[in-house]
């Protein structure tokens, strides 16, 4: 059942995005496993970053991991990591299945994008196996470009890219 706009607004009033805490671990693993069962995660994805969030996302001030909570219950998550000084990767964007038609993902992405800008990243990439129009529309609305689709183990992997440097320049005009 898809919530209407009024329901979504009421839901969002109760949503808080905050930094991951060690006590969140089991709820984050549950969200990860829901993505695994829904086919959002490739079979060769070990989930090591989810098992060791502090090692994967708090090894640098430029990396981070957040959870979205509703009445102290974790309903979403997102992480930012990088392989180089200029490009961030948004990872593990997940929202509880019954809340996926709400703006929770947008709130998580906005938090991650602001973090990337604050920490001097010039580019952001993300990929998803989730082909819902809502997800792709959200990425498009935020300025991400769909760069390619590749087949990985029989499922499409959609890759997206955002050039913050160009986006900031166009906002200065």
The arithmetic mean of pLDDT across residues 139-152, rounded, is: 89
With 0-12 / 13-18 / 19 or more C-beta atoms within 10 angstroms meaning exposed / middle / buried, residue 159 is middle
Q: Is the pLDDT of residue 1 over 50?
A: no
> Which CATH number is correct for 5-172, 3.20.20.70, 1.10.3720.10, 3.40.630.30, 2.60.40.10?
3.40.630.30
pLDDT digits (tens, 9 = 90+) for 41-94: 555 566 789 999 999 999 999 999 999 999 999 999 999 999 889 999 999 999
The pTM of the full predicted model, rounded to 2 decimals, is: 0.84
């Amino acid at each position: 059942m898809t919530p209407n706009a009024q329901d979504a607004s009421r839901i969002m009033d109760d949503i808080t995005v905050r930094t991951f805490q060690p006590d969140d671990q089991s709820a984050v693993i549950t969200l990860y496993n829901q993505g695994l069962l829904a086919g959002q995660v490739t079979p060769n994805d070990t989930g090591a970053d989810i098992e060791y969030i502090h090692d994967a996302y708090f090894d640098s001030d430029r990396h981070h991991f957040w959870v979205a909570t509703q009445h102290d219950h974790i309903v979403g998550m997102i992480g930012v990591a990088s392989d180089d000084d200029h490009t961030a990767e948004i990872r593990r964007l997940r929202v509880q299945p019954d809340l996926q038609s709400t703006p929770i993902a947008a709130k998580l992405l906005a938090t991650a994008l602001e973090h990337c800008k604050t920490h001097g990243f010039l580019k952001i990439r993300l990929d998803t196996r989730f082909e819902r129009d809502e997800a792709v529309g959200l990425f498009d609305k935020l300025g991400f470009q769909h760069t390619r689709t590749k087949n990985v183990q029989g499922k499409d992997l959609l890759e997206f890219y955002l050039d913050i440097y160009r986006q900031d320049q166009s906002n200065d005009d």
